[in-house]
Amino acid sequence: KIRAAFHLFDHKADNTVDVREVSTIIYSLGCFPTKADIHRFVDEVEEDNMGYVHLDKFLPVMTKVIMENKFPPIPEQHLRQAFEVLDKDRRGYMEPQELAKYMKSEGEIFSQEETNEMLTALVDEKKNLICYKELINQLTIHPDT
């Protein structure tokens, strides 16, 4: 699973990925580190500050992260509560520009690139809204299924 996720971002097919892809790979494996966690992880696996990560370094470190459950998913109720705090009218959705504003001014600040990536993944294209109640169900792990 780790190899497959890594190879999705190995665009040169040389067992390396750009360090900027590491967080996306980690998230795709069901792990949810903070930015500080990601920076520490990258410091551990990056090749001599060259801007890339080799699979040989990534694999054992990521395996340990998963085995030790270092970056567990956020519980469903916490995600719901976070969105509900932002959705003051309790509509069950947010407009993309609302979430973008919060992402750039509250908590762990996101860059414009990170904000754009997040919105691309979260916005329902037909409605041009973030329907967070539906989204939370997709983002959380349900062990019974």
Give the pLDDT confidence of 95-143 residue by residue, as tens digits. 999 989 988 887 778 888 888 888 887 888 899 999 888 878 766 655 5
**What gap in Å lies between CA 118 and CA 115, rounded to an integer?**
5
Given a contact cutoff of 8 angstroms between Cβ atoms, the answer to whether 29 and 1 are in contact is yes
**What gap in Å lies between CA 31 and CA 51, rounded to an integer?**
22
136 vs 14 pLDDT, higher one: 14
- What pLDDT is recorded for position 121? 79
At 144, the pLDDT band (50, 70, 90 cuts) reads very low
Mean per-residue pLDDT for 16-32?
A: 90
Query: What is the percentage of the chain residues whose pLDDT exceeds 70?
Result: 94
- What pLDDT is recorded for position 13? 95
Q: What is the mean pLDDT of the chain?
A: 87
